[in-house]
Amino acid sequence: MSSYTELESRFRRIGALEEAEGILHWDMSVIMPNGGAGSRAEQLAAMKLTIHELLTDPLLEDLLNDAETQSLDDIWQLANLREMRRRWQHANALDGELVEALSKSSSKCEMIWREARPKNDFAAVSDALSEVLNLVRQKAETKASTLGVSPYEALLDQFEPGTRIVDIDRLFDDLASFLPNFLDDALSRQEAAGEPLKPVGPFDLTAQQKLAAKLMEHVGFDFDHGRLDISLHPFCGGVPDDVRITTRYEEDDFAQSLMGVLHETGHAMYERGLPVEWRLQPVGQARGMALHESQSLLVEMQICRGSEFLTFAAPLMRDAFNGSGAAWAPDNMQRLQARVERGFIRVDADEVTYPAHVILRYRLERALISGEMQISDLPTAWNDGMKELLGIVPETDREGCLQDIHWFDGAFGYFPTYTMGALAAAQIYQAASGADRNIKPAISEGDFGPLMTWLRTNIHGKGSVGTTDEILTEATGLPLGTEAFKSHLKARYLN
């Protein structure tokens, strides 16, 4: 057995354990009783430690060194070896004790957050979050010295490999200069057009679930390889052959949940479209969270809030809730789904204000990691940032710094990928619809087949064979930029 073949065998085992870990996380968030939190924290810590031990086995370095001297002609094998080396570097920067401590601390903090958020009790989770932050700082500093980057970039590299602060600042600074005036113009045009009609609830929760499942199937979701459930925070989890989507329902607003489901379905379609022949190998996994978020925002924002999709879907919505009248007309539904508002909640934000939510979190987490800010400063800093970026101030921490799960679960460095994903989504949809003129007409009939065929070839099926910019450049002709996103906003909100 060659060194490379031995590496594939070892990473297949690691990949299977990581998939099992993903299912344990889904179970903890969806159906696990609160009393199981302690044992689940132990299980997840043991799983993470086992994976870490496999990645830090001294023999792995020898195998990598030897494999890198072999003649590998296949571009997928070469990319797989590159990704193995990257995984090894990240793992070997940390000792097992820190991995285990961070896993337990994050699990504990997340469970406290689940109770603190609905009670608007930041003080209840503050100490646990401080403990998580201290461990994350240790992790960031250790990885930074190994990777030769800043501590924050070391965290970012886990979610979007190779991205640097200068890359994010270039994109975000451009958006920060463009969006304020654009938001004012969009709000003025919206006010002049008058309020759209809003369907009146309550909207039966069972009917919402059935409608969501029906539209998921139109997008291409296969319920033989996935599920739709309820959780506090909507997410897409599981594994490529068993994708788990969750949402939350509100009786007075079916669209909020429905769009959330369609968002997560975009994630699911990316997972399902990853190259089957490279399952459980690093190169067969999603390139990074920017492309992952591009797929969810492509489905939800670019398509499902647009006129083509709503031409098809509005009658289904009307029939699902026995609606009648002008409120259910496709053009009115499109106006409803394109409403712009200065709001507090990121997951409910429209695509014009959404980048401001992400820029705020990016600034705050950089300050937290650098030590410029402590957890006790977070509520005030959050409110000040919201006032600066959107001109509004949350009345409660539930609407402010308690709203997202990420930091409480130890995920620092993740937030920039949301807006990077929005930029990529606009770029990808522009390229796809330009390359295949059947995509938009098909969507107006509820057929996502032509789009998904293009995505499987140009995005999903690429796995991690290239960098994000390499995959985007091959698919769209350009690396990640802001122009397609700005053009999309102008076309939807000002024309």
Residues 6 or more apart in contact with residue 67 via CB below 8 angstroms:
2, 3, 4, 7, 81
Q: Which of 304, 269, 299 is nearest to 444 (CA)?
A: 304
Residues 6 or more apart in contact with residue 127 via CB below 8 angstroms:
none
For residues 261 and 105, give the distance between their C-alpha atoms in angstroms, rounded to a whole number: 30
Q: Which of 302, 275, 392 is nearest to 342 (CA)?
A: 392
- 264, 308, 351, 399: the active-site residue: 264
Backbone region of residue 120 per phi and psi (left: phi > 0; alpha: psi in -120 to 50; beta: other values): left
83 as an active site residue: the answer is no
Nearest-10 Cα torsion for 105, 107, 108, 113: 120
For residues 368 and 6, give the distance between their C-alpha atoms in angstroms, rounded to a whole number: 41
Residue 318: CA count within 13 A, CB half-sphere: 16
Helix, strand, coil distribution of the chain in percent, nearest 5: 70, 5, 25
For residues 275 and 296, give the distance between their C-alpha atoms in angstroms, rounded to a whole number: 18
Q: Which of 202, 187, 312 is nearest to 257 (CA)?
A: 202
Backbone region of residue 325 per phi and psi (left: phi > 0; alpha: psi in -120 to 50; beta: other values): left
Q: Which of 74, 85, 475 is nearest to 277 (CA)?
A: 74
User: Could you list the active site residues?
Assistant: 264
